Amino acid sequence: MKCSEFLQELTNYLDGVLDDRTKSELEDHLAWCHNCYVVCDTTKKTIEIYRDSQLYELPDDLRNRLRSAIVAKCEARKKTGPREV
C-alpha cells in the first residue's frame, strides 16, 4: 500500500467502516511508515478532542449554578472591599 492510498482510506479506518482486509493493510502500512503513523495519530487525537468537547459541554443547569456561585463570590468580595496590591 502506498502513502496516498493510506491517506485515502484513513478516515474510513478511523470511522471503523473498513473491511478486515483493507484494515489490516492499513495497519501493516502504519507499522513501517512513520509519516502515516504521525498523520493517523494526529487525526485520531483531533477527533478525540472534538468528541470530548461535545461530551463535556456543560448542561445549562450546571452552567447557571456555576455562574451564580461565581457571582456570589464576587458579591462577598465586594463586601470586604477590594484589596489594593
* Binding site residues, Zn ion, CB under 5 A: 3, 6, 33, 36
DSSP string, 8-39: HHHHHHHHT-S-HHHHHHHHHHHHH-HHHHHH
User: In whole angstroms, how close is the CB of 62 to Zn ion at the nearest point?
Assistant: 44
User: In whole angstroms, how close is the CB of 37 to Zn ion at the nearest point?
Assistant: 8
User: In whole angstroms, how close is the CB of 23 to Zn ion at the nearest point?
Assistant: 15
Burial class (CB in 10 A: 0-12, 13-18, 19+), 26: buried
